[in-house]
Structure 1
């Protein structure tokens, strides 16, 4: 696991979706954390929105952004817990063509190091749809920092070895091009 300095960095266009019944642009600390981190890494913010905990609305926004050629990745924050209003994971799965099962596992491993057994309460998930990566993170700034710093920053850096998400972008929708 290292950065191959002989490879050129390729910026990725990332949309950030905050899922909350109470957050506003003025107090969206988790969304702000993700934007600061992705821009600090050299990527660009392609879109940003806040939606209530409504499965259909979340899935519709994910589909809209998946269809947008200027968006490579969607990261949502919030709605991944266990309460009745937590429906972000279900909305993501409504959209996924393929789930990235290991993302949840690795996120749990990272979280366990920081918050111990409380990590079992997160249902963070990742997947792919229409050639776009989709990730659902918990709604805390700490969880967003952990996911970005310990997983996503590396996977969205083309220079990261032995492999990364960026290098397989061109192949994510190859099943559609074969027809």
Structure 2
């Protein structure tokens, strides 16, 4: 559980990685935004990018260079299909990886959600340019699990630490 003194709001960019989703059909991106707003965090930007390394890199780089963004939350492209390249892009950007995020996410997915298929997830998190990055699978169930059990309970604490 997050430290009680760390209750500040985070300024967030939500990126959905998908070749097929639109703003009307992006359930996972919408869920991230809803959960952030319910937790008093601010969504400063939202976009959908193709499952393409250059498009993902461009969206992340743009966010890393903006002062009004402290947290980048990505959904999609974390599987093992040929087009799933989010992990590779995020991994190259990170200055400090938070390996516990992916480890605990896969454990929780295994225990409470999808069983042994959890090993196919390449969820990853870390920091770059004094911002937090979280990359989650594209399913709304995975987003709900990651946001409610891992990200939201610690988001204010993480932002507090990055502001030091």
Please give the range of the TM-score, normalised by the shorter of the 2 chains.
over 0.9
Alignment of 1:15-54 (within 5 A): 15-54=13-52
Distance, in Å, in 2 between the alignment partners of 1:153 and 1:61 is 22
Match of 2:161 in 1: 168
Larger Rg over CA atoms:
1
Distance, in Å, in 2 between the alignment partners of 1:144 and 1:59 is 21
8 A Cα contact 2:6 2:160, kept in partner: no
Distance, in Å, in 2 between the alignment partners of 1:98 and 1:8 is 21
Match of 2:131 in 1: 132
Alignment of 1:92-107 (within 5 A): 92-107=90-105
Match of 1:176 in 2: none
SS in structure 2 opposite 1:128? strand
The structure-2 alpha-carbon separation of the partners of 1:167 and 1:3, relative to structure 1 and needing over 3 Å to count, comes to closer
Structure 1 residue 94: Cα displacement: 2.2
- Structure 1 stretches of 4+ with a deviation exceeding 2 A read 1-4
Gaps of 5+ in 2: none
Q: Deviations over 1:123-162 (max 9, x none)?
A: 00001110011111000001000000000011113xxxxx
Output the TM-score relative to the length of structure 2: 0.94
SS in structure 1 opposite 2:9? coil
Q: Calculate the aligned-residue CA RMSD, in Å.
A: 1.3
Gaps of 5+ in 1: 158-163, 172-179
Output the TM-score relative to the length of structure 1: 0.87
Match of 2:53 in 1: 55
